[in-house]
Structure 1
Amino acid sequence: MSSGTPPRGGERDGSRGRTRVVVTGRGVVSPLGGSWSETWAALLEGRSGIGPLTGMETDDLPVRIGGEIKDFDPEAYLPRKTARRLDRSVQLAIAAADQAVRDSGLEVTPESATRTAVVLGSASGPTRTATAAHEAMVTRGPRAVSPFFFAVSGVDSAAGEVSLRFGLQGPSTCMTTACATGSTCLGEAMRMIRFGLADVVIAGGVDDSLTRIDVNGAAMTQALSRRNDDPQRACRPFDTARDGFVMSAGAGVVVLESEEHALRRGATIHGELAGYGATTDAFHVTAPHPEGMPAQRAALQALAEAGLTPEDVDYVNAHGTGTPKNDSTEIKVIRGVFGDRATEIPISSIKSMTGHMLGASGAVEAITALEVIKTGEVPPTINCDDPEDPELDFVPHKARTHHVDVAVSNSFGFGGHNAVLVLRRWQPAD
């Protein structure tokens, strides 16, 4: 479809007769910036947000680099008293949700509140709060633990706090599928609207696990890059010299609405979330299925739900972590799904610049895919100097102009979780 043909409309929608789900708001806090506009500008520049970790002591750790959130002020979004009781990850989630709601122009009324849901997940939850509480108890005794700890330390804290902030009384849930969490939350939120359970869903993912125990724990699995002396070149998706992913913090949130609801209130529609597929490898706790067959099925399920085929896809936003096994398997997945067309489709991994934001990655990458559709600008995969599969187009080093109507966004997680989203250019049905 890169030939400039008109965007596809409802006549190609396999869900014709079912509710179409559109994106009207986007919010991002990432190592590249405190908003989506800042993040997007950095992605197009091919700028890395990875550097030496400054928020903790790292001298004795095997990995001393990561993607930190710099210059974030929670009091720009929250009263000081509220911000002080919340984990940093929850603060990030509220900031991204606030941005997304503002972007959407959504106004919550007592009537609409009951039809507005939240699906907001995290791979790790409020780990900073948990580790700080444990340290306080060990060093200063039981009375040093905050009375708020039990209420704010659950993995569902972000979902509950976002509901509370906006007064939302529809379903509120936290879903966790490891590194696929953000995509899972968007996909399940889409189905919630299609099943008639809500008109609007605030959906996304968040994580800030840059603590000594989390970074060291990931390093002990041999999953992290150890290029401590060259952090901006450490994350190398699909490059033959890759040696692991880089752990980062971040939050990505979207406002999803039924098309009817969005049109009725005159919202600006950024694009359509058209399909979602989810499978499980059932192979290994950390390693992907060696042939990637379950992940291929997830992609084909997502396309089928969207009423599309692999021939319709113009861009792939890859999971692309930079670990040896993930990238080799994802290459097999892409070739298995797209066949001979695989070499014609631009494929990029923004983790080369953001690092791996864990539960936030899938949401931020879906927002990226939407922006690619809107602007026709494809962000690069930086540090991909010697691609493992030189026939595939990983958009190395520099952004590229390319007309895109349909994009696929892949997310795969520890535990064998696979979640694939299909996003497309929105236009009203005939």
Structure 2
Amino acid sequence: MNNIELTVNRRTVQALVEPRTSLADFLRDERDLTGTHLGCEHGVCGACTLLLDGVPARSCITYAVACDGAEVTTIEGLDDDEIAIELRAAFSREHALQCGYCTPGMLVAARDLVKRLPDADEQAIRVGMSGNLCRCTGYVGIVNAVRSVIADRRARDIAPEPDAGRKLLGPVGSGHKTCNSSHETKKPRLAPVEQGSAVAPLVIPDFTPSTVLDQSFDVAHPPAKVFAMFDDIAAVASCLPGASLTGTPVPERVEGAIRVKIGPISANFNGAARVESDPATLSGRILGIGIDQRSRSQTQGEIRYKLLSLQDGAATRVELSIGYSLTGVLAQIGRSGLVRDLAARLVAEFAKNLDRKLSGDACASAAPVAELNGISLVFGLLRDRAARMLHRITGRGDTAS
């Protein structure tokens, strides 16, 4: 059991909790705050969303002990909140709820959007609310309600708060005013991004990726030739779907962008990277950081590569280790299994483009590489999975002995 002290709806609470107890269970079972609803209990549906240090968080996948020193606000704590009052009226007016089970989480997420968005942009609202699922309404009334509140507040000259209190890089709730836990953690600080700016910081920091994917592919070219290509960041970028450079690259700082589109959701990460290489071991690293201004999402990425000689030096195996961390709205749609499969498809596209460039394909040098389209990659992935399943069922493709 662990002793914790936190602020719940502006009241100091001290309690003894088991390490495995989720914040949602603690609030519902120990504090009788049942407005925080439990749905999937996997952090997917958004019904359990509340405010942790002023930022929306999934309480079903947040441990109560991790919130020692934090400020927690549930839907009950927003009874007198000005934005929540306006949203509740709008939800009723626009018929934005039916059974009401998802509504507490919807209101908390919508409140964050009302504070942050500069105008009532429907696409931005749909992206911002995409982490909250509803089985009843079809979302039209929900979107209309949020739009009406944002439009009304901006018409009253109530300015948006682009960061809505966000001052730290790290898990939601890491900005505790105090921390009484015996397990004190170091909280890395993120330099604030100015409004309207989408420029990465001047220094590209080292970091520990939250997800690491390992991939490899072979090309029919000598290692020295492949290494020279990897040392040319402009050539590498031209082979990567969705990537483009926005300045003259130097190893210490390469500025560029990568555009990603998954169905109706599109993101344009503007940022910078630094390039490191070791000719002695035919290895290197590309370390970057990017910001999507529209969704206020930020990503850090690292690509480590190592080249191995094949066929007595006539061919090369490229071993890649791809690590990344994603924070913000877009992190809600990143499922590890899907990301892993999409990464495999992306690496396959990169390998094909790289081979064409190494072969001196003039068309490959002249034609721009298409943007990274998640839908086309998913369909390709589904085709591959269907083919493998059919092979297992029918046994076709087995070689006769």
TM-score (norm 2): 0.27
Q: By percentage of residues, which structure has more strand? A: 2
TM-score (norm 1): 0.25
